[in-house]
Amino acid sequence: MNGEPEASSPATTAATATTTAARTPTYDQEGQRGDGVAARSAADEAASGQVSSKVLEIDFTTHVSMRYHAKRRAWFDMLHRMSMVVAAIGGSAALASLAGDQSTAAKWITLAVAIAGAFDIAFGPSERARKADALYKQFCDLAADIASCPSPTEEDARKWLARRLKIEAEEPAIIDTLNVICHNTEAEARGYGPETCYHVSLIQQIFSHICTLPPYKFEPRKSP
């Protein structure tokens, strides 16, 4: 799913540290200067910064995915409940029809019940809600593991990335607009600047659970 916004620049810091280490003179053990230790320290700091950048990206995208599937779960649950409400109302119309009420209203309600039932069977909002809930929980478990590791290593980052990719392989097609909305929400929650968020029009927001409307390229928000 969507990558981490460039709110901070740990990679740039790491690159600077690496360059500094490369320019630091080193001597053998009999030398009088300890710049070799400084060089190794700078290199270690650079490597640590790169790991932190990778972990931050994985953590950010994981939380975006959590928000995305939580929204999808709520959306499908709403559709399923609406179908059940229509079916319940239609039950009264069916009883009225059995009692001899052949009014136009009763016929329309019966038709609405048939359509709602067909929609619920064909589209399966209840099953889709359960799938979204399962994906949400998987991403939530991943986020918890990342948060519980105080000093992540390069190996930890690789394992988390592989785990995230395996979860994403189970995802249905992602709706880009909704994904961008979740990206913006997560970026704002973390206190990132407006340059890390993207503009989503009102009409795109309205249809965000159905499809992605043009323009398909989301432009960064303009600073106020």
Residue 195's Cα: distance from chain center in Å? 19
In the block, tokens 């009409």 appear at 203
pTM of the model: 0.74
Contacts of 197 by beta carbon, 8 Å cutoff, 6+ apart: 5, 183, 184, 187, 188, 220, 221
What is residue 31's predicted lDDT score, i.e. its pLDDT?
A: 40
What is residue 79's predicted lDDT score, i.e. its pLDDT?
A: 92
Tell me the DSSP string of 177-215. HHHHHHHHHHHHHTT--GGGSB---HHHHHTTTT-PPSP
What is residue 46's predicted lDDT score, i.e. its pLDDT?
A: 63
What is residue 111's predicted lDDT score, i.e. its pLDDT?
A: 74
What is residue 4's predicted lDDT score, i.e. its pLDDT?
A: 45
pLDDT of the chain along its 224 residues, tens only? 654 444 343 333 333 333 333 333 333 444 444 444 445 455 556 667 788 999 999 999 999 999 999 999 999 999 998 888 877 777 666 665 655 656 676 667 777 777 777 778 888 999 999 999 999 999 999 999 999 999 999 999 999 999 999 999 999 999 999 999 999 999 999 999 999 999 999 999 999 999 999 999 999 988 76
∠ Cα 80 1 147 (to 5°): 95
For residues 70 and 51, what is the distance between their CA atoms, to the nearest angstrom?
29
| Neighbouring C-beta atoms of residue 88, cutoff 10 Å | 10
Termini Cα distance of the chain: 28
